[in-house]
Amino acid sequence: MAAASESVLLRFGNEVAKQPTLFSGPMKSRFLGVPVTSGAISWAGRKRQVDSRLRLAGVRAVAEAARVQSLSGQEPNFGMAIDTVAEEVLRGEGFSGMRKTKLVCTIGPACCSLLELERLAAGGMNVARLNMCHNSRDWHRDVIAKIKKLNEQKGFSVSVMIDTEGSQIHVVDHGAPSSLKAEEGSVWVFTSQKFEGSRPFTVRANFEGFSQGIMVGDELVIDGGMASFVVVEKMGDDLRCKCTDPGLLLPRAKMSFWRNGKLSYHGLPTLSKKDWEDIDFGVSEGIDFIAVSFVSDADSIKQLKNYLSTSSSNRSVKVLAKVETLESLQNLEEIVEASDGIMVARGDLGVEVPIEQIPTVQEEITRICRQLNKPVIIASQLLESMIEYPTPTRAEVADVTEVVRQYADALMLSGESAIGSNGQKAVSVLKMVSSRMELWTREEHQQASALYSYKKLGASLADRIAEAICNSAVEMANNLGVDAIFVYTKHGEMASLLSRNRPNPPIFAFTNDRSVRMGLNLQWGVIPVLVDNLSEDMEANVLKTTQLLKTKGMVKRGCSVLVVSDIFSTSATPNAFQSIKMITIS
Ligand SMILES: Nc1ncnc2c1ncn2[C@@H]1O[C@H](COP(=O)(O)OP(=O)(O)OP(=O)(O)O)[C@@H](O)[C@H]1O
Ligand SMILES: CC(=O)C(=O)O
């Protein structure tokens, strides 16, 4: 078959079967009936198109709302399911229009109706986060059902994440419906006792043993520095504290105790009884991710993964560790290794880590996650002002830009989508800002830095063959200026390894496993595509998928595609075939 002249087939076992390579001579053939010609399209050729797209972009929630309407009533896909938003972008703008950075939105009262959820999905939400701290299980069940309905009926591919409440000492009542000022020198009682109504200068904590081990002279810090107190007296389990640094007490404000500049640990388990019940609930509702709060070491993650893997229906749920404590920073590498991904929970992290250190800590976590090939979400206060205002501050835009420059996999909205009045606009801003930065890094220094970074990344993972193939594939894809990378993958591993190299072109990951598809939704630059069946015959897979994409108007003449596969042959030879192939669609 002529197409073989365009492939590098790599067989790992006793021998390496060398085929005529990609670079040997003119390429013009038919690939199992699909006309295939040679010739890569340069990146620069698409610049004008993308530029005009970005010029047209903006804060346009109204336009998104109109798009929701037009997406309604679309015919279901047969044979292949690709997210309806990705499909639209492909038809309209081609491969270069695909956004790489993923978007996570926290769902709350402001966006829990079917229409609001549909607008967020149409706007580009890849993962919906449900924080189990808030609201009832019935409320969460209803939201999950709505998201699943939208996926099924409107062709979206939005994954669902639950976020455990975890064990943390916080305020449950401070005697006011909203914030209350603590003046310097004022004396307050902190208690866990329940009482009717509210008492002046009395704050109720959520946890009975909150004062265990606390001594007179210890410092009580509210919300990482919003206000500070010194413990002046212990009265049974209650603490009498004097305000040393005036500030605001907010509902659910976090409380941390310090002695001689060191944090006192409360010793509560990472996963409480309620968390385990929420996990069982989430799994039974078919969620895709569990984000575990207040992880201190790898043990709780291992315990949860073990629990999920021993229960037959739960194998596919991915476990993310939230990095939000000093302890988690001390055990960072083992936590990243043990988990399926990380959330940098900057809100709570800022309670234990001085805020001026958060930017460097964030960059380091992002680097380690990429090194160890785990997706990383950057969360909290990305566009905080948009909870109230329709436009972001310049500083917020700079923060989001920096996250994208650091190549984090995903950006997360919290209150902006959950309780804010501008949730869709906030999604549009994230989309616009990330598209701009992605374009800039590609244009200005991607070639050099990608080459540099993949060499730095190299040889650090367990499957060094797959890692080497993906590193090389991305180098080829960037050097040849291909329009897309197609990867055929049963478990998502190769898609993830390709993503780790942050290639210029988007990665289309074809899989026949629904949970792999939903799990890849967090991975930078990966567009997961569910196909009916992946055969061991790679040429048949390529033919089937490219034909379907062509029929649906999603690929155009002249598109050059680098094809990578990790489909293992079970017959004839025990050796695995992993391949890189170049095709051009005509
Ligand atoms: N399901 C919900 N129901 C009601 N309010 C919610 C819900 N989810 C979020 N919120 C509101 O949105 C705000 C932001 O939510 P988010 O979960 O991101 O932050 P959080 O409450 O500080 O918790 P965490 O520290 O775990 O992130 C919350 O303070 C809460 O007021
Ligand atoms: C997201 C979260 O839990 C935090 O930032 O604390």
* Nearest by Cα to 106 from 148, 167, 64, 163: 163
User: What is the rounded distance in angstroms from the CA atom of residue 194 to the CA atom of residue 206?
Assistant: 10
Last residue of one domain, picked from the residues 387, 404, 438: 438
Per-residue pLDDT tens digits for 391-413: 999 999 999 999 999 999 999 99
* CB of 3 sitting under 6 A from ligand 2: no
DSSP bridge pairs for 116: none
Query: Is residue 559 helix, strand or coil?
Result: coil
User: What is the rounded distance in angstroms from the CA atom of residue 216 to the CA atom of residue 231?
Assistant: 5
Per-residue pLDDT tens digits for 233-287: 999 889 999 999 999 988 889 999 999 888 887 778 899 999 999 999 999 999 9
Are residue 296 and residue 330 in the same domain, yes or no? yes
Are residue 158 and residue 194 in the same domain, yes or no? no
Q: For position 268, what pLDDT does the model report?
A: 83
**Residue 495 amino acid letter:** A
CA of 347 to the centre of ligand 1 (A): 11
Per-residue pLDDT tens digits for 24-50: 333 333 222 223 333 222 223 333 333
135-165 residues labelled b (16+ CB within 10 A) or e (exposed): beeeebeebbebbeebbeebbbbbbbbbbbb
Are residue 181 and residue 161 in the same domain, yes or no? no
Q: Could you tell me the residue range of the domain that residue 204 belongs to? A: 171-263
Are residue 532 and residue 580 in the same domain, yes or no? yes
Query: Is residue 313 helix, strand or coil?
Result: helix
* Residue in the block written with tokens 């309407």: 69
Measure Cα distances from 276 to 56, 105, 155, 165, 208 in Å.
47, 23, 32, 10, 20
* CB of 345 sitting under 6 A from ligand 2: yes
User: What is the rounded distance in angstroms from the CA atom of residue 295 to the CA atom of residue 362?
Assistant: 16
Give the ipTM of the model, two decimals please: 0.98
* CB of 347 sitting under 6 A from ligand 2: yes
CA of 135 to the centre of ligand 1 (A): 9
The CA-based angle 172-176-178, given to 5 degrees, is: 85
Whole-angstrom distance between the N-terminal and C-terminal Cα of the chain?
A: 17
Are residue 301 and residue 418 in the same domain, yes or no? yes
Which residues touch 154 (CB under 8 Å, ≥6 apart)? 71, 72, 74, 84, 118, 121
71 band by pLDDT with thresholds 50, 70 and 90: very low
* Nearest by Cα to 173 from 235, 237, 252, 242: 252
Q: For position 422, what pLDDT does the model report?
A: 96
The answer to whether 532 touches 80, Cβ cutoff 8 Å, is yes
CATH number of the domain that residue 563 is part of: 3.40.1380.20
**Residue 398 amino acid letter:** A
Last residue of one domain, picked from the residues 263, 290, 325: 263
Q: Has residue 575 got a pLDDT over 80? A: no
Residue nearest ligand 1's atom 14 by CA:
415
